[in-house]
Amino acid sequence: MIETTTTDLIINFSYVLAAALFIFGLKLLGHPSSARKGNFLSAVAMLIAIVVTMFDNNIVSFQIIAIAMLAGSILGVFAARMVAMTAMPEMVSLLNGIGGLASLFVAWATVAGTSDYGVFTMVVTFLALLIGGVTFSGSLIAWAKLSERITGRSVTFSGQVVFNSVLVLVIIFAAYLFVAQPAMVAGINIDFNVVLYTAMALALLFGIMLVLPIGGADMPVVISLLNSYSGLAACAAGFALHNNILIVAGSLVGASGIILTNIMCKAMNRSLSNVLFSGFMPATKTDMVIEGEVKPLSADDAYYVLEAAQSVVVIPGYGMAVAQAQHAMKELQQLLEENGAEVAYAIHPVAGRMPGHMNVLLAEADVSYEQLFEMDEINKRIQNFDVAMVIGANDVVNPAAREMKGSPIYGMPVINADLAKNVFVLKRGMASGFAGIDNPLFFKPNCRMIFGDAKETLGSMIRQFSD
Amino acid sequence: MDAVYLLFILLLSIFVGFELIQKVPATLHTPLMSGANAISGITVVGALALAGSDTMGEYAAYLGAFAVFLATINVVGGYLVTDRMLAMFKKKQ
């Protein structure tokens, strides 16, 4: 250890201050009115941490740092300015991945000069390498799935379970070689760099194998989990470098991701292992037949019902994001309110492709957050609503979750749209949701289907109101 | 003993994290994620020491510099996009 100097003391005191600001910032993130300030405090904490680190006596060359930071800042500003709100899930996955890769490189740099450390440091360095690598490649696959560069469906091949099990064993063996000095296999001494590169390749492969079998509807869980990993990777890097602020900040992020993962799993009535491994299980089939017929309705006829309605609840799903219908919905909301109706929005926790996806889209369209209600709040009074408008949502309003034992989503908490007096389902066609399950809601006597692009449908309703 | 001390810090901050984040409403989950993402860019602090050091060798410095570059994207991009989102969350006029 290097002896403690005054500079080290100042640096560490500043880290304490930064940690306090991170925590206080997260606390302010607990309410929409103070959240922006919270994010700002968190950014100030980061700035303090970065600036004081520059005073570290070990840092002698600043040129390369300046270039790296400038390039990173330019890219960061560019990405943050350019991204469309509908593309937030892709953006967050990419950022998760970059964070993971940064931790991988920190771990790599730690052992690049010398691998002559104690067992503890080598174990945590390996963890940083592994978690960082998994986060990076896993996030890239998640990003490709979300942006539909590869199929959003679960990707499986025969022997995948065996392959993954072998992969885990090989990773454990690689970890042993990484930590054991010198690395010996069957009496032959293996170069440390060979072990290092193999470990990185294995970590990247593992991330790909982890996310490939997960289908598009489960993406909220995957993004939350990868978010958590990006924090844990920073945490492991903090252990490797014996840096407190990395551990504090990394574990805050890790905890945040785990909580979100848990919320998402609960909202789908599934366990995390079920989400991660269900791609391997045979699809459950029900022989239950849904009776009744689908009754289509034109947007013009729907207008007459809306005009008479005293209260309307809007239930958005991923389809609203795809159709970019949030602005049209806000316009219709204003017309309905001028007409004397109460308009509420019901948001299911897993609506969309990431936690809170719908809330951001509606905020972008200037819908007040006070009009957005969580599932439990709205379900208590859903029978009082004259009209429930389902826009591009499917599985989250599927009454099969309540009534059809044996349905794959039986037991999942859903928004009980079918209990409202009238239900309008704005939908492109009769295709089933991402889960691939039939929706008995469409066959209920109080349900009308308004086929077509949600934005155009809402547009023609708006025109009717203006006439 | 050093390891035990670091584990103490880990344990306490995980507990603080759980307590704080449980109170974040569902409305703010997306900004929470991108904000948390920016915080995970704290790796930049670790990377700085590696990139600027002359004792670790040139190779390590370049790897560290690349980590600085990546983590800076995370920090700058994460905080800005979170701020952009949070600016849109408005009360009823």
- How far, in Å, CA of A312 to CA of A74, rounded? 45
Model pTM? Answer: 0.89
Q: Where are the beta strands (DSSP E) in A124-237?
A: 184-185, 188-189
Kindly report, residue by residue over A172-217, the tens digit of the pLDDT.
999 998 888 666 666 677 788 888 999 999 999 999 999 998 887 7
Confidence label for A1 from pLDDT (cuts 50, 70 and 90):
very low
Confidence label for A47 from pLDDT (cuts 50, 70 and 90):
very high
Q: Does domain A299-466 have CATH number 3.40.50.1220?
A: yes
pLDDT above 70: residue A455: yes
All residues at 6 or more sequence positions from A338 whose CB lies less than 8 Å from its CB, including other chains: none
0.90 surpassed by complex ipTM: yes
Kindly report, residue by residue over A239-287, the tens digit of the pLDDT.
998 899 999 999 999 999 999 999 999 888 888 888 777 666 555 555 5
Confidence label for A400 from pLDDT (cuts 50, 70 and 90):
confident
Kindly report, residue by residue over A109-119, the tens digit of the pLDDT.
999 877 778 88
Chain B CB contacts of A109 under 8 Å are: 47, 50-51, 56, 60-61, 63-64, 67
- The residues spanned by each domain of chain A are 1-82, 87-280, 299-466
Q: Pick the closest to residue A181 from A168, A196, A170, A171 (CA basis).
A: A196
Closest Cβ–Cβ partner in B28, B56, B80 for A32? B28
Which pLDDT belongs to residue A197?
Answer: 93
CA dist list (Å): A433 to A295, A303, B3, B23: 19, 26, 49, 31
Kindly report, residue by residue over B10-38, the tens digit of the pLDDT.
999 999 999 999 989 988 999 999 999 99
- If you average pLDDT over residues A400-409, what whole number do you get? 80
For all residues of chain A together, what is the average pLDDT? Answer: 88
Chain A CB contacts of B27 under 8 Å are: 32, 347, 356, 359, 369, 372
- Nearest CA to CA, how far is A1 from chain B (Å)? 11
Kindly report, residue by residue over A81-94, the tens digit of the pLDDT.
999 888 899 999 99
Chain B CB contacts of A229 under 8 Å are: none
> If you average pLDDT over each of A82-91, A226-235, A409-418, which comes out highest?
A226-235
pLDDT above 60: residue A18: yes
- Cβ–Cβ of B47/A109 closer than 8 Å? yes
Closest Cβ–Cβ partner in A112, A360, A368 for B57? A112
Active site residues of A: 395
- How far, in Å, CA of A16 to CA of A335, rounded? 52
Which pLDDT belongs to residue B57?
Answer: 79
